[in-house]
Structures are given as C-alpha cells and as structure tokens.
Amino acid sequence: MTLSRREVVDLLAEHGLRPRRALGQNFVVDPNTVRRIARLAGVGTGDRVVEIGAGLGSLTLALAETGASVTAVETDPQPAGVTVVEGDARRIDWAALLGDHRWRLVANLPYNVATALVLDLLEQVPTIEHMLVMVQREVGERLAAHVGDEAYGAVSVKVAFWATATVVGSVPATVFVPRPNVESALVRVDRRSTPAVDASIDRRRLFALIDQGFGQRRKMLRRALAGTVDASGFACADIRSEARAEELSIEDWGRLAACNG
C-alpha cells in the first residue's frame, strides 16, 4: 500500500501541514512512481534499506512492500504511519545508526543538498554500498557524467573515485506536491570495492587538484594548474599540458596527483 495524491493532500490538510520550501520538500504522490523507484533500487526481502527524507512516507511504504527492512531518516517528521529516525542526514551519526551491516540507500533528496550529501555518504559511510537517489535532472547528469559529456565536471570525477553512477530514469514534475519547476532524474550509484585510483594517493590532495583544474575548466591545464603541476609532472603522468580538465578521467587525475605529490 502506498499513498495516492488525494491521500497526501488529505494528510497535509488534516494536520495543518505545508511542504517546507526551505527543506526542499516536494512529496511524490504517484504510487506507480514510488514502486518504480523501489524496483530500480533492486531492494527486496532481507535487504537493509535506509531512506533519507521520508516525508509523508509514500516511498517508505513502497520500499516496505518489497519485504526490505527500512530505516527512514527525516529532519522534519510528518505523520505517515511509519517509524522514522529524526535527524539531519548531514549531521547524523551514521556509524551508530547503521552499524556494520551492508545497506542500500534510497532517497528523494532535496535539490539544495543533493550533491554534497551524495559525496559525504560516499566518503564517510562505506556500509552504504548502493544508492538510488532522485535529484534534479541537471544534478543527476553531473553525478553520472563521463569524459565527453557536457555535464562532466569536478563532481563527476569525485563520484567516479568512489563509485559508478548511472541515470536510470526520469521523473516528471507532475507526480509531486507541490509541483517543482524542474524535472527530476533517478541515479543509481554503486560503490566500488576499492577507489578508482591507487590507494597510496592522498584523496584530499587529489580532490584539491581536481577542484583547481575545473576551477578554470576552459583553460589549458598548464595554466589552470600553474604553480602545482609543471612540465615534468605532466610528462610523468602522460597527460598533455594543453588538455583541459574535462578531458581527464579519474584515472588520469590519479596519475597526475601521483606524479605531483
């Protein structure tokens, strides 16, 4: 059983609630959509699933229908007949909440924190091995972009360090209350067994190099990385100094960092 549009609207009215724009609250009100999300997430009996932003519980109920064990994290609990853990996903003690078990994450993420939250979870919560997140379409394209894609940028490279990401579906604005002004995308993120670059490379230094390169993405790398990488550093990494940041894969960035430690 999931919540229909009428049931969501009635719940909001009954309890005098309004979606809070500051929290990026847009509730999914189409049962077919939440069931599709649960299916694309690949969850089922025996799986441990953590949901961020349970809201009124439409997606929570669809996940529970699969037989999975669902833990929902919500900073602004609403009545929906489900048990939630009250807390801010950016500040919660994930280790205490999830323990040492393997988890899948499924979430309709607020547009204003989606990118930072996905990167935080990849870095800080290794027990979450798979994610299926609903985000603004442009955000989803950046998370999953590869070299040569228009959306490819620093975020794409950082995600690729930890995981593989793929846009697996779209969600129209018409299935939300209130209706957002943007289209949404469903992105599947699967954690790598090991990061994409050599473990000896300092991740913070690598990410700083990526940020520097994409900070002036239209410039050739010899200019964008001036003062950090010299001609010998490019030669060592087998990277053309005339290349631009958007031409380098995560493996390329790893070699560049290794040669300029």
Which domain CATH number covers 151? 3.40.50.150
In a domain? residue 48: yes
> Distance of CA 16 to CAs 6, 26, 81, 197, Å?
15, 16, 17, 51
CATH code at 215?
1.10.8.100
Q: Are residues 53 and 93 in the same domain?
A: yes
* Cross-strand pairs, 174: none
The tokens for 186 are 């469903």
The last residue of a domain, from among 191, 216, 243: 191
User: What whole-number distance in Å separates Cα of residue 118 and Cα of residue 191?
Assistant: 11
Tally of domains within the chain = 2
Q: Are residues 53 and 182 in the same domain?
A: yes
User: What whole-number distance in Å separates Cα of residue 229 and Cα of residue 236?
Assistant: 10
User: Tell me: the pLDDT tens digits for 113-129?
Assistant: 899 999 999 999 999 99
92 residue type, one letter: I
Q: Which pLDDT value is given to residue 81?
A: 39
User: Tell me: the pLDDT tens digits for 7-23?
Assistant: 555 555 544 445 555 44
Q: Are residues 44 and 108 in the same domain?
A: yes
The tokens for 37 are 């999300």
Domain that holds residue 243: 203-258
What mean pLDDT comes out for the span 91-116? Answer: 91
In a domain? residue 196: no
In a domain? residue 197: no
* Cross-strand pairs, 247: none
User: What whole-number distance in Å separates Cα of residue 51 and Cα of residue 211?
Assistant: 30
In a domain? residue 198: no
Q: Are residues 57 and 88 in the same domain?
A: yes
Q: Are residues 59 and 100 in the same domain?
A: yes
User: What whole-number distance in Å separates Cα of residue 147 and Cα of residue 151?
Assistant: 9
The last residue of a domain, from among 132, 167, 191: 191
The answer to whether residue 134 scores a pLDDT higher than 80 is: yes
> Distance of CA 204 to CAs 62, 153, 158, Å?
38, 17, 11
CB atoms within 10 A of CB 86: 11
In a domain? residue 112: yes
Q: Are residues 121 and 174 in the same domain?
A: yes
